[in-house]
Structure 1
């Protein structure tokens, strides 16, 4: 007779009983509950799920948001974004329906990362040539989200809202 057979006979002298099955089930589901609890805790603690500070209030003004989007589409503005990592400069160009530069805008901008708010920053754009606006900002490699509101004067209703993703490549 082998040693393996005798040790198993001592361990389960009366065979597998109900308490052995119960302990096995409690241990299995206990480990699963702890693991899932940790995953839920870290998931809720790292990302709120929203990209707006107050989504409820945004929902209340949804019809006004749609009307503003229709007014923006009627303008027919086209935009072009360029980032020069050597000069650490972000440039926006705006043109109207007739491909003429749109000058005299006041731009409020913000750069964020898609998954975190650790590197969020506000941008100060200045008009460097007709229809071209630049902001000096050093961006690390990776994905960024650019949000810009175009105003004709201080405190006015935004004429044009722009939200685009940028990718900055690693420097060689």
Structure 2
């Protein structure tokens, strides 16, 4: 025998044949990885924003003219609202078109994260004088959204939606 043939015979005798069992295990491993990755992506998708702005766009379109009229009326009021957060308190400062503080407002709304409703909570503000309104809100670090509606004694309504970032919850 030639030396090359002896070496090839030694390699072939040590090689294990590719059986149906190996094929089955290979296929199960391949599809198992795909299934695990898909389940992980599904989990991320369920935990994120669904992208819905309104539940029924047809009904929302029917209210468009009414919403635009409310926006024009709000703009004509000339009210302005500034939002601040510090030491577990959210503050709203309301002024009129001339910059004078607005007092006697009733303010309520919703405070939560912009992309999920899991941490949403209703809030009611109390007047602290000179156009300043406060509510206690221990917020975690990250981005938050306040949707507040203010009403005066004459029935005028002002809605303000503002996003703000909390760097350090203790401050």
TM normalised by structure 2 equals: 0.70
Select the structure with the greater relative contact order (CA < 8 A; seq sep ≥ 6).
2
Equivalent positions of 1:43-122 (< 5 A) are 45-47=46-48, 49-50=50-51, 55-56=55-56, 57-85=59-87, 88-122=88-122
Partners of 1:4 and 1:97 lie apart in 2 by 94
Q: CA deviation at 1:76?
A: 2.1
- Determine whether 1:6 maps to 2:12: yes
For residues 7-52 of structure 1, give each alpha carbon's deviation from its aligned partner in whole angstroms, at most 9, with x where no partner exists.
8x8757xxxxxxx9xxx99986786577446634x35533462565
Q: Give the conservation status (yes or no) of the 8 Å contact 2:107–2:125.
A: yes
What is the RMSD computed on CA atoms of the aligned residues? 3.6
Residue 59 to residue 2, structure 1, CA distance change in 2 (3 Å): farther
SS at match of 2:109: strand
Partners of 1:44 and 1:51 lie apart in 2 by 14
Residue 150 to residue 2, structure 1, CA distance change in 2 (3 Å): farther
List gaps (5 residues or longer) in structure 2.
Answer: 1-6
Bigger radius of gyration, 1 or 2?
2
Corresponding position of 1:131: 131
SS at match of 2:103: coil
Aligned length: 161
Partners of 1:4 and 1:167 lie apart in 2 by 70
Residue 2 to residue 122, structure 1, CA distance change in 2 (3 Å): farther
SS at match of 1:125: strand
TM normalised by structure 1 equals: 0.70
